[in-house]
Copies of this chain bind each other. A is one copy, B any other.
């Protein structure tokens, strides 16, 4: 379908740009007219990951902020435009000291070439509300596009700009099977340089699997609140980063109940637990080194114990680094760490999923 652009054009008129010479008039299409992927479930608000009204037990921070961030969501569309711009209507524009604004509040565009998702451009709409040109001067022809939304901001609407008169249409979801990730700031993508470098999204592009990722920075502690959300989520497989936030006692205390809630609605769905990663702080902080080692031991213990009676539970071992070399802030990996993470779990997870005939091929 070719979209009516009247509303978006009005919006452009209302947003005079100092970059007009660089980015002349474009037609803007609202994201609601394109295909949104990456959601765990339907929600009243389009660009949030969890229906915060429906579920009990969230803290205010989780309900009013963390669950509302657009990490993991993406628009897919086809266009024959030779350039692609983006603008955002933010409900909240996030800034983090340990990440780029491009990742926290910007967009990250990929275009398919020879069957592979190639980086096409990333950037941040200006504080004045001016759109950013993600890519221009493209060769003629139809492009299949994947546009990741910000990792940490709350999005009211996203507007995709194209050359006036060109076509832009909603595309079918290019990814297959529902692989539901849940986890800490690591899964959220904190300290990634651009949205698509969060490791679940690298995994998505690399495998072709339909990743739906719920990263909840600092709040992935095997709670019943998130267990209920995940239990209600359609999934062909679960991949959890569940041992990065809780301390060892919390892991032992919460694990069985978390699993029980999930298994009540997903009795045989494969659940792949990820061990937490080595943190840069462990290099010299002997206390932190012990705390982290205790978390890892507890994680290993509870998962191995569950595996004795549940044949559909697995554990994999992500590796960002072993010496803090990919660390941003003592804790969070850089893009390099998240790339290493993705590469270290990619084949082990694909091998597990293959047992269930889950393959993107």
Residues of chain A having any CB pair with chain B under 8 Å? 97-102, 106, 111, 113, 118-124, 134-139, 191, 193-194, 197, 280-281, 283-288, 323-330, 334-336, 339
A358 to chain B, nearest CB (A): 26
Q: When A135-B284, A137-B288, A325-B119 are in contact, do A124 and B97 touch as well, CB less than 8 Å?
A: yes
Copy count, this protein chain: 2
Cβ 8 A contact of A330, one of B111, B122, B139, B287: B122
Contact across chains for B137 and A287 when beta carbons are under 8 A apart: yes
A100 in complex: contacting residue of B97, B137, B286, CB < 8 Å: B97
Kindly list the 8 A-B residue pairs having the minimum CB-CB distance in the complex, ordered from nearest.
A336-B336, A119-B324, A137-B287, A334-B335, A193-B334, A97-B101, A193-B328, A137-B285
Beta-carbon nearest neighbor of A101 in chain B: B97
A194 lies within 8 A of B328 (CB): yes
Give the distance to chain B from A23, nearest Cβ to Cβ, in Å: 13
Identity of the chain B residue whose Cβ is nearest the Cβ of A324 in the assembled complex: B119
Q: Are A122 and B329 interface neighbours, CB within 8 A?
A: yes
Structural contact, B99 and A283, CB atoms closer than 8 A: no
The one of B100, B138, B280 that contacts A99, using a Cβ cutoff of 8 Å: B100
A260 to chain B, nearest CB (A): 36
A132–B283 alpha-carbon span in the complex (Å):
18
Q: A120-B324, A121-B285, A123-B330 are in contact. List 17 more A-B contacts (CB 8 A).
A: A97-B101, A98-B101, A99-B100, A100-B100, A120-B283, A120-B284, A121-B284, A122-B328, A134-B330, A135-B284, A135-B330, A136-B285, A136-B287, A138-B286, A193-B193, A326-B335, A336-B339
CA distance A307 to B250 in the complex (A): 65
Decide if A102 touches B97 in the complex (CB within 8 Å): yes
Q: How far is the CB of A330 from chain B (nearest CB, A)?
A: 5
* 28 A-B pairs with C-beta separation under 8 A: A97-B101, A97-B106, A98-B102, A100-B191, A102-B328, A111-B283, A111-B284, A118-B283, A118-B323, A119-B283, A121-B285, A122-B328, A123-B330, A134-B330, A135-B284, A135-B285, A137-B287, A137-B288, A138-B285, A139-B286, A193-B193, A193-B328, A194-B327, A194-B328, A326-B335, A334-B334, A334-B336, A336-B336
Q: Please measure, in the bound complex, the distance between the C-alpha atom of A328 and the C-alpha atom of B188, giving whole angstroms.
A: 17
Contacts of A119 in B (CB 8 A): 280, 283, 323-325, 327
Contact indicator B286/A121 (Cβ below 8 Å):
no
Q: Which residues on B sit within 8 Å (CB–CB) of A136?
A: 285, 287
Minimum C-beta distance from A123 to chain B (A)? 6
On whether the beta carbons of A197 and B334 are closer than 8 Å, the reply is: yes
Residues of B near A138 (CB, < 8 A) are 284-286
Per the bound structure, the CA–CA distance linking A60 and B134 in Å amounts to 30
Kindly state the separation between the CA atoms of A283 and B339 in the bound complex, as whole angstroms. Answer: 20
How far is it, in angstroms, between the C-alpha of A334 and the C-alpha of B326 when the chains are bound?
A: 11
B285 with A100: CB separation less than 8 A: no
